[in-house]
Amino acid sequence: MSVSDSNPKEMICISCPIGCRLTVSQDQDKNITVTGNKCARGKVYGEEEYLAPKRMLTCTCRTDSQEFPRLPVRTLSAIPIEYIDDLLRELYRMTVALPVKRGQPLIENYRGTGVDVLASMSLDDHGR
């Protein structure tokens, strides 16, 4: 690591079960250096996590059913971290009308991120 490297970050690569410990830093010319990765996927992960971290989101939404009041939902792809709090608030405010099919989009292209939120399971008033 050179003297010009700023704000090195330590992180675990979660792209595979090995879980390499990465050190990611950026020099004054904005070049990103990733060390500790055993493969190229770790370099990509480290760069993305340093510059624009994203996460998958899972939670539950209220339904209009008294018998099955919560529906598990998830994002189809990872969403930028800065959107997660607002998306969670929106999902906690929502009421999903049953029946719903597994994979049914509940929110499409959330705030232009390209990320959809889907139902994680099929559910009707009989719990199927």
Say if CB 23 and CB 49 are below 8 A apart. no
> Using CB under 6 A, which of the segments 34-42, 70-78, 93-101, 106-114 binds ligand SF4?
34-42
38 binds ligand SF4 (CB under 6 A): yes
Say if CB 77 and CB 114 are below 8 A apart. yes
Which residue lies nearest ligand SF4, judged by its C-beta? Answer: 42
CA 76 to CA 57: how far, in whole Å?
Answer: 9
List 1, 16, 51, 81, residue binding ligand SF4 (CB under 6 A):
16
1 binds ligand SF4 (CB under 6 A): no
Distance in Å, CB of 11 to ligand SF4, minimum: 10
20 binds ligand SF4 (CB under 6 A): yes
Say if CB 24 and CB 33 are below 8 A apart. yes
Cβ-based neighbours of 88, under 8 Å, separated by 6 or more: 57, 59
Please report, as ranges, the residues that interact with ligand SF4 according to CB under 6 A: 13, 15-16, 18-20, 37-39, 41-42, 45
